[in-house]
Chain A
């Protein structure tokens, strides 16, 4: 049990570092792209016609992957007025139940994505004409990462109980 838990947390920490690096690069590219599109319009009298669409898809990756990062650092907003009155043991139990809730929610989302995927492989985006599945993948990829992190949370909590 201990070994599995430490293996999971090793992998999830490593994943989180890679994801952070990826999104930080993404958000800089985003700022650069939008600034360049202003520059092109006013200085070069030209336009980057695809900038709006690409920027929106970059946002999807930033939001959904970023939310896994925020989960890893326990930064999602929760109201812990009642929670703070619980004993340590009950806190742990509540946290395990919440992690199970998270897993079930993301499994529902993931199943939905799998159902939609064949359709979105056929559909293409408005300006670029790439498969809509490419931007949409931000959601299922993040769902898988969320599920992995939540399993890791449960394992860590259970090891702590012993």
Chain B
């Protein structure tokens, strides 16, 4: 068993693609245990033959249309009309638009790219330090996986066998908490910064125009969350409706999507989602093999042998996830660790929704940790800043997010209240 893990990590480190690394390790495991190899093919197919996972490419596609079709730009304009007049206004705008955008797309990297390309250039022009600009955009973007709809939440729901709709509801309050705490860091930090010197007032007329322009885009979170809440459709169906709605708004109302742009957006969202889903497909086989050999039980009993104090154990799990989230890619971490951690937390009497949001928040923080944090890389590329510079600038935001994570872990109200009234 140890051999398998060493093989897997060696392959990953030697730049073998994640999907193939898991595939080769799984095949090696089957050969060593004399299991028939045709089962790899059979279980790979079973791994993606799932109604829940259908939501992944559909939410990606809806996000692609919203970005290409001018919806994200209008959401940024709306946020700026609301909070742009504060000191540090553009940085606050970036957090607020990430939160709004998180409500319409499923992926943190996409949110970071959309908000970053709209705001980082103007932040630089207004005298913001480029590392600070990149850091706040990355931190805001990571909220994308916590506020619904969220792809990692769908994957968690799929593995842990909980309802996607409830998982989405559980993410709303924690997402708002993280957003507000990031904004307070911005307000605190920009007191002494030499930015936004001109004194500006909140302009109601400007807000009214921006709201009118973006009202169609704001319809999406209501359709998705409202539709699931009201029992009108399943999470998967809500993703399909979001695609049709986004296409309608971008083509008929905003008139910004050409046939060529539609095709390009479709191809790129299919590529991104099949990269994620093929990893899920093969990781399901790997995970099946591990559970056949009771590896998951072994791991969780190791955790339990360290301590049986609930609070301490939660802290240990969080530290483990934070370290892993820094090195292992999001989807792969979910498939590998959720089968271990979800039952462990359940045995401690923790609500699966709380553990889900906790695990996803850990991964969100992982997206911000240098050197592999995807949001950091995306926003750093847009701002043209060096990894060392952003690493320093991201630190206060990371600390605040870790405090938020502890709140989410130890205050179950945040995650269980909304699903309980549904």
Q: Mark B257-282, 1 if CB is under 8 A from A, else 0.
A: 00000010011001111110111010
Which residues of chain B (24-38) have a CB below 8 Å from chain A?
Answer: 24, 27, 37-38
Q: Is B4's CB within 8 Å of the partner chain A?
A: no
Q: Mark A10-32, 1 if CB is under 8 A from B, else 0.
A: 00000000001001100110111
Chain A binding surface, main DSSP class: helix
Q: Is B106's CB within 8 Å of the partner chain A?
A: no
Q: How many Å lie between the Cα of A80 and that of B17 in the bound state?
A: 9
Let me know if A108 and B51 touch, CB within 8 A. no
Q: Is B45's CB within 8 Å of the partner chain A?
A: yes
Q: Whole-angstrom distance from the CB of B329 to the nearest CB of chain A?
A: 5
Let me know if A20 and B267 touch, CB within 8 A. yes
Q: Is B407's CB within 8 Å of the partner chain A?
A: no
Q: In the complex, which of the residues A38, A67, A115 contacts B275, with contact meaning CB atoms closer than 8 Å?
A: A67
Let me know if B48 and A60 touch, CB within 8 A. yes
Q: Is A69's CB within 8 Å of the partner chain B?
A: yes
On chain B, which size bracket covers the interface?
Answer: 35 or more
* Complex interface: chain A residues within 8 A of B204 (CB): none
Let me know if B281 and A35 touch, CB within 8 A. no
Say whether, besides A66-B271, A108-B27, A112-B39, A76 and B236 are in contact (CB < 8 Å). Answer: no
Chain A interface, number of residues (Cβ within 8 angstroms): 56
Let me know if A62 and B17 touch, CB within 8 A. no
Let me know if A80 and B15 touch, CB within 8 A. yes
Q: Whole-angstrom distance from the CB of B20 to the nearest CB of chain A?
A: 6
Let me know if A82 and B244 touch, CB within 8 A. no
Q: Is B411's CB within 8 Å of the partner chain A?
A: no
Say whether, besides A76-B18, A82-B13, A105-B23, A62 and B57 are in contact (CB < 8 Å). Answer: yes
Q: How many Å lie between the Cα of A66 and that of B215 in the bound state?
A: 34
Say whether, besides A67-B278, A108-B37, A111-B37, A102 and B20 are in contact (CB < 8 Å). Answer: yes
Q: How many Å lie between the Cα of A56 and that of B12 in the bound state?
A: 30
Q: How many Å lie between the Cα of A140 and that of B40 in the bound state?
A: 12
Which residues of chain B (57-81) have a CB below 8 Å from chain A?
Answer: 57-58, 61
* Complex interface: chain A residues within 8 A of B41 (CB): 109-110, 112-113, 116, 139-140
Let me know if A83 and B15 touch, CB within 8 A. yes
Say whether, besides A31-B243, A56-B50, A67-B278, A42 and B232 are in contact (CB < 8 Å). Answer: yes
Let me know if B19 and A69 touch, CB within 8 A. no
Q: Is B3's CB within 8 Å of the partner chain A?
A: no
Q: Is A9's CB within 8 Å of the partner chain B?
A: no
* Complex interface: chain A residues within 8 A of B271 (CB): 66, 69-70, 73, 75
Q: How many Å lie between the Cα of A123 and that of B61 in the bound state?
A: 33
Q: Mark A72-86, 1 if CB is under 8 A from B, else 0.
A: 010111111111000
Q: How many Å lie between the Cα of A60 and that of B54 in the bound state?
A: 9
* Complex interface: chain B residues within 8 A of A65 (CB): 274
Q: How many Å lie between the Cα of A110 and that of B240 in the bound state?
A: 32
* Complex interface: chain A residues within 8 A of B57 (CB): 27, 30, 59, 62-63, 66
Q: How many Å lie between the Cα of A123 and that of B278 in the bound state?
A: 25
Q: Whole-angstrom distance from the CB of B196 to the nearest CB of chain A?
A: 39
Q: How many Å lie between the Cα of A63 and that of B272 in the bound state?
A: 10
Say whether, besides A32-B244, A35-B237, A101-B20, A24 and B267 are in contact (CB < 8 Å). Answer: yes
* Complex interface: chain B residues within 8 A of A136 (CB): 45
Let me know if A38 and B232 touch, CB within 8 A. yes
Q: How many Å lie between the Cα of A157 and that of B12 in the bound state?
A: 22
Q: Is A156's CB within 8 Å of the partner chain B?
A: no
Q: Whole-angstrom distance from the CB of B154 to the nearest CB of chain A?
A: 13
Q: Is B49's CB within 8 Å of the partner chain A?
A: yes
Q: Is A158's CB within 8 Å of the partner chain B?
A: no
* Complex interface: chain B residues within 8 A of A79 (CB): 12-13, 15, 18, 329, 372
Select from chain A the residue with minimum beta-carbon distance to B266: A24
Q: Whole-angstrom distance from the CB of A72 to the nearest CB of chain B?
A: 9
Let me know if A60 and B267 touch, CB within 8 A. no
Q: Mark B208-234, 1 if CB is under 8 A from A, else 0.
A: 000000000000000000000000110
Q: Whole-angstrom distance from the CB of A42 to the nearest CB of chain B?
A: 7
Let me know if B270 and A24 touch, CB within 8 A. yes
Q: How many Å lie between the Cα of A61 and that of B45 in the bound state?
A: 10
Say whether, besides A27-B270, A38-B232, A63-B278, A112 and B40 are in contact (CB < 8 Å). Answer: yes
Q: Is B241's CB within 8 Å of the partner chain A?
A: yes
Q: In the complex, which of the residues B39, B266, B371 contacts A28, with contact meaning CB atoms closer than 8 Å?
A: B266
Q: Whole-angstrom distance from the CB of A106 to the nearest CB of chain B?
A: 9
Q: In the complex, which of the residues A35, A75, A101 contacts B16, with contact meaning CB atoms closer than 8 Å?
A: A101
* Complex interface: chain B residues within 8 A of A55 (CB): 51, 54, 236
Q: How many Å lie between the Cα of A27 and that of B268 in the bound state?
A: 12
Let me know if B372 and A70 touch, CB within 8 A. no
Q: How many Å lie between the Cα of A63 and that of B23 in the bound state?
A: 16
Q: Is A34's CB within 8 Å of the partner chain B?
A: yes
* Complex interface: chain A residues within 8 A of B278 (CB): 63-64, 66-67, 70, 76
Q: In the complex, which of the residues B16, B37, B263 contacts A112, with contact meaning CB atoms closer than 8 Å?
A: B37
Query: Could you list 6 A-B pairs, sorted by A, with CB under 8 Å?
Result: A31-B58, A32-B240, A55-B51, A67-B274, A70-B275, A75-B275
Q: A35-B240, A38-B237, A65-B274 are in contact. List 9 more A-B contacts (CB 8 A).
A: A27-B270, A59-B57, A59-B277, A66-B270, A77-B275, A98-B20, A108-B40, A111-B38, A139-B41
